């Protein structure tokens, strides 16, 4: 059997879990990330429910099977080689949207798209998180990484988080139980805290004003970012009191091409896939950018993008 089509030895045991969620074997990951790059994963589960997630996490950890959690696959770089593990792709019940009794408060599932979340808040006349319209991820990722834009951060509006540990046990904690910082939270799946949903409290505002703010955020993205080309969003974190894009542009790297990857001519902290880019094109371009910026400015740019090792 071709190695690319090999079924792993742990496949029968995974089948015995009798999940309600779909399991795929040797599935290409290109359409599961916004860069449209990457090789296949031995296993991929479209996780539909908390019950299935509660079966999967203990099984994977008990059997030492590598696993990785994704929603829309933004902020993620995947190697072209075969990944010998299981991708947990949240969908189904994890796309929930449930307004709460408390005014301007909603519980959103971890797989709900940030864009959808922002649009629904606008329709309710809820203000504060219009910036989510420009973030190409999901609520779970936004909470776990404290995503933000236009001066706003996710943690400012989180009131409570529902999460699952690696034993499959569900916890419900207030926001103050966890530390949040720039593009960081203690809700890290690999450290044993998988966000399944979060409750947010926003402010009541004139619906027309909320819509106007959202449109301004959307217009900024369309004018300043390469929204129509595959990318991961921002590649590097902003250094303290500065911007990664400014430093990259000062180093004359805007438009730099390696293979089929390019530092976007529109926004220097975006690397775009020009079509059929290889993961090595991206890795090589990231290294070039970091090295040149360090030579020019003595600042080491830290990747914001996660890497599936």
Residues with catalytic annotation?
183, 234, 304
CA distances from 229 to 6, 36, 114, 221, 252 (A): 33, 10, 18, 12, 21
Helix (H) or strand (E) holding 148: strand 148-149
Sheet with 83-90, strands from edge to edge, namely 22-28, 40-47, 83-90, 67-70
DSSP type of residue 138: B
Closest CA to 109 of 51, 195, 186, 187: 195
Tokens found for residue 263: 């530092």
- Tell me the C-alpha distance between 243 and 10, whole Å: 46
Whose tokens are 């909320």? That residue is 210
């Amino acid at each position: 059997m071709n190695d690319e089509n090999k079924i792993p030895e742990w496949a029968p045991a995974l089948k015995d879990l009798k999940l309600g969620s779909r399991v795929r074997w040797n599935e290409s990951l290109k359409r599961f990330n916004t860069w449209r790059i990457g090789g296949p994963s031995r296993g991929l589960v479209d996780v539909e429910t908390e019950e299935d997630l509660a079966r999967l996490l203990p099984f994977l950890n008990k059997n030492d099977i590598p696993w990785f959690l994704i929603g829309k696959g933004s902020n993620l770089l995947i190697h072209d080689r075969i990944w010998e593990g299981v991708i947990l792709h949240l969908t189904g019940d994890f796309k929930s949207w449930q307004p709460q009794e408390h005014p301007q408060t909603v519980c959103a599932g971890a797989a709900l798209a940030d864009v959808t979340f922002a649009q629904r808040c606008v329709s309710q006349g809820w203000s504060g998180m219009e910036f989510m319209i420009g973030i190409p991820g999901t609520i779970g990722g936004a909470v776990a990484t404290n995503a933000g834009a236009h001066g706003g951060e996710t943690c400012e509006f989180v009131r409570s988080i529902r999460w699952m540990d690696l034993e499959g046990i569900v916890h419900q904690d207030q926001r103050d139980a966890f530390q949040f910082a720039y593009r960081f939270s203690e809700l890290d799946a690999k450290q044993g805290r998988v966000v399944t949903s979060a409750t947010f409290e926003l402010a009541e505002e004139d619906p027309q004003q909320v819509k106007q703010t959202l449109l301004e955020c959307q217009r900024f993205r369309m004018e300043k970012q390469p929204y129509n080309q595959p990318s991961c969003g921002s590649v590097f974190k902003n250094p303290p009191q500065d911007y990664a894009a400014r430093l990259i542009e000062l180093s004359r790297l805007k438009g730099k091409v390696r293979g089929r990857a390019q530092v976007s001519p529109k926004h220097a902290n975006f690397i775009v896939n020009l079509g059929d880019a290889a993961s090595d094109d991206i890795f090589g371009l990231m290294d070039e950018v970091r090295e040149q910026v360090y030579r020019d400015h003595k600042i080491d740019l830290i990747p914001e993008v996660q890497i599936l090792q």
